[in-house]
Amino acid sequence: MSHPGHNGRKRALFIGRYFDIEFYLDYSWFLIAAVVSASLTANFRDFVEGQASGVYVAMGILAAFLFFLSILLHELGHSLVSQRCGIPVPRITLMLIGGVAEIAREPDDARSELKIALGGPLVSLALVVIYFALSELFAWMNWEPGSAVCWWLSAANLFLLVFNMIPGYPLDGGRVLRAIIWARSGRLRYSTFITSRIGIGFSGVLAALGFLLLGMGKWNGMVLFVIAIFLKRAADSGYANAVEREVLAGVLVGDIMTPHPIALSSTSRLNRAVDEFFLAGHQLICPVCSDDGDFRGFLRLDTILEVPLEKWPYTSAGDLDIGDFEQATLTVDQPAGIAMRALFRSPADGRLAVLEEGKLVGILTQQDLSQAITVRSKLETMLAK
């Protein structure tokens, strides 16, 4: 369970939409699925005797497929609980080193966090039991290949369960521990700090182990390295999210915007607009308002440059394409916490117009937001001493 940005989407194959969740297969998955199938085929050849060659290949492919299905079910476990707690899950992606359920936001309370964190491991635990029972059943029926595949799946799910329950954030065990500390202390940031330290420590142990294996000439040390890097990154960004959430609590968009922006009138001619706004203000994009101050959109210098120079004195700013301004606005009284996502979505190069009763009263940029976060967290660290 992790929360990456949207950049992974293009590299994945869309499988379908079930339970209001879009399922994707990362292209890296095909490579790893082939490697896992091949190594499982070799393993089964060693442990189960006297089968036709095709049977081993079928066992390898089936076991690999069911293993990836197990990972998917684990992520689905988190996702369905999350939906029940009122937090949507837009996407589940199966990738190189497991699955990722993209949960839309952090839970509001420790109880939901605990339930969502346990949803995946409980599914894994059920799979351990089911595959173990099936393995025993097939052994009793003297069907050796079926028994071996189910026994391996039971062990693989047990490994998945134990690994995920290590108490370092962002692993499931770390989330469980975070929920417990959060419930006791009431402080999300503090509990994220402690559990992400454990997560980073654990990623260091994994990296050292990977290094040791590589030193012994074992290529699978590389896999540990990749997992260690992934964990370290997720632990860092998880903590950064918790800090942002805490320092921005109770802060409004109006508190962090840059007020009194200079706006272009929608009736002003292009030659004057270029002189007075783009040249004087050295900006590449400028807010446009009607004469009575209602926000109309953002005008780009590039849009003006598409108009022939001789037409500039006869064309006004409002005649040009000034964009879909619905996507580029916030109001002063909205919580600052939602500005982050809105800024990423903004069609106006990472800036938003801040409105009060339809009138432009400020501009919010990514820089405004990150500075507001830095200033507040510095002051808070000092006051906490």
Q: Residue numbers of the site for Zn ion (CB under 5 A)?
A: 1, 120, 164, 172
- Which residue lies nearer to Zn ion by CB, 1 or 343? 1
How far, in Å, CA of 217 to CA of 232, rounded?
Answer: 25
3-state secondary structure (DSSP) of residue 375: helix
**How many residues are given for the chain?**
385
Q: Using the minimum distance from each CB to Zn ion, give the nearer residue, 113 or 172.
A: 172
What is the rounded distance in angstroms from the CA atom of residue 265 to the CA atom of residue 261?
A: 12
C-alpha closest to that of 116 among 90, 84, 81: 81
Query: Considering beta carbons, is residue 26 or 172 the nearer one to Zn ion?
Result: 172
Tokens of 115: 């339930």
- Whole-angstrom distance between the N-terminal and C-terminal Cα of the chain? 34
C-beta closer to Zn ion: residue 157 or 164: 164
At closest approach, how far in Å is the CB of 84 from Zn ion? Answer: 16
Sheet of 295-300: strand order equals: 264-265, 285-289, 295-300
Contact 60/84 with Cβ under 8 angstroms? no
- CA pair distance 280, 319, nearest whole angstrom: 22
Cβ closest to Zn ion, residue 160 vs residue 270: 160
Residue nearest to Zn ion (CB): 120
CB of 82 to Zn ion, least distance (A): 11
What is the smallest separation between the CB atom of 78 and Zn ion, expressed in angstroms? 5
Pairing state between β 21-26 and 91-95: parallel
Measured from the Cβ of residue 286, the count of other Cβ atoms closer than 10 Å reads 22
Q: Which is nearer to Zn ion, 98 or 297 (CB)?
A: 98
Containing 103, the helix (H) or strand (E) segment is none
Nearer to Zn ion, 192 or 266 (CB): 192
Q: How far apart are CA 47 and CA 127, in angstroms?
A: 22
Closest approach, Cβ 120 to Zn ion, in A, equals 3
Between CA 159 and CA 334 the distance in angstroms is: 45
Nearest distance, CB of residue 1 and Zn ion, angstroms: 4
Alpha-carbon distance 214 to 255, whole Å? 52
Q: Which two tokens stand for residue 7?
A: 């950049």
Q: How far is the CB of 366 from Zn ion (least distance, A)?
A: 31
Least gap, CB of 294 to Zn ion (angstroms): 49
| CA 145 to chain CA mean position, Å | 39
CB of 248 to Zn ion, least distance (A): 27
Task: Choose among 128, 26, 122: nearest CA to 77.
Answer: 122
CB of 99 to Zn ion, least distance (A): 8
CB of 333 to Zn ion, least distance (A): 37
CB atoms inside a 10 Å sphere around CB 100: 22
Count of beta carbons in the 10 Å neighbourhood of residue 366? 16
Amino acid (1-letter code) at residue 159: F
